[in-house]
Amino acid sequence: MTAVVAESLTKRFGSVLAVDDLSFTLEPGTITGFLGPNGAGKTTTLRMLLGLAAPTSGRSLVLGKPYAELERAALSVGAVLEATDFHPGRSGRDHLRTLGRAVGLPDSRADDVLRAVELHEAGKRRVKGYSLGMRQRLGLAGALLGDPELLILDEPANGLDPEGVRWLRDFLRAFASQGRTVLVSSHVLAEVAQTVDQVLIITHGRLVVESSLPQLTSRVGGTVRVRTPNPDQLQAALRREHLDATCDHQTLLVRGADTDRVGEIAFAAGVPIHELLTEGSSLEDIFLELTSEPSS
């Protein structure tokens, strides 16, 4: 069964078309990045998927049903929409207990998920004393409470320090490796580029890209950075393959090819390589290029 299906989802606020005829499907066991600049309609889409907002037209299915019709929804879907959805005067553990009670989970589940997000020591303290990173993790703990097979997170990396981002990345990888599905939104491609299998990019409420991450990179032609002791030899080999490369000391920047292709050309030419990678900034360029202008 597909994990999520959106069929022509549309949401209009007055004269503003926040989400415009959005359709996509998510297969189980994948991590999907849901990307777009702020105000592109990501959160509105997630709200519609989760039954918090009614679409103007279109519909969505989560694990085969409209979210509101799922039996004990929290046992199959975990979601976090805002990092700050806590009563400041309630302890983290009590927050989780109140959620767990609603679906008949024992209090011990609250302790389990607190441990899973490394908050067990702070669990008894009131949330008002938590850092933003701790709040993000408490929100995640709430989503994990029902041991769901689908996780939907809106901007989970917002406000996390680099260590927190890495923790989140490892966590999502481990979650998906168990055959579970993740949909994670972000306005920064680089934040999720190392985590996701595929991306949905929306801008002005419309889907502009639905592809795997390598496809995205090759499609637009990213920049590959390659360091070699024989840059002239490699540059010549690349030229023979009609690839343009600029040279700076021992480093070549290659446009219009991915790392696989550049590596193979170097191998065929017998040029040793000391470093070979896709430039992070080029991915970000792709993203900006795709989202800065509405597709027509």
Partner 1 sequence: MIAQLKAELLKVRSTRTTLGLFAGMIGLTLLIVLLTGLLTHHDGLTSRHDQRGLFAPGAVALIFSGLAGLLLVTSEYRYGTIRPTFLFTPRRADVLSAKLTAGLLAGLVFGAVSVGLAVGIGSLILSARGIGSALSGGDFALIVFGGLAGIALLGAFGVGLGAILRNQVGAVIALLSWEFVVNSLLFGLAPSVGRFMPTPAADALMGLKTTHLLPPAAGGAVLLAWTAVLALAGLALTLRRDVT
Per CB under 8 A, residues contacting partner 1 are 47, 50-54, 67-70, 73-74, 77, 79, 81-82, 84-91, 94-95, 97-99, 101-104, 142, 146
Nearer to partner 1, 72 or 166 (CB): 72
Least distance (Å) between residue 24 CB and partner 1: 21
Nearer to partner 1, 16 or 102 (CB): 102
Least distance (Å) between residue 38 CB and partner 1: 16
Nearer to partner 1, 91 or 259 (CB): 91
Least distance (Å) between residue 179 CB and partner 1: 22
Nearer to partner 1, 107 or 170 (CB): 107
Handedness of CA 189, 5, 82, 17 (dihedral sign): positive
Nearer to partner 1, 38 or 296 (CB): 38
Least distance (Å) between residue 25 CB and partner 1: 21
Least distance (Å) between residue 83 CB and partner 1: 10
> Tell me, what amino acid is at 30?
T
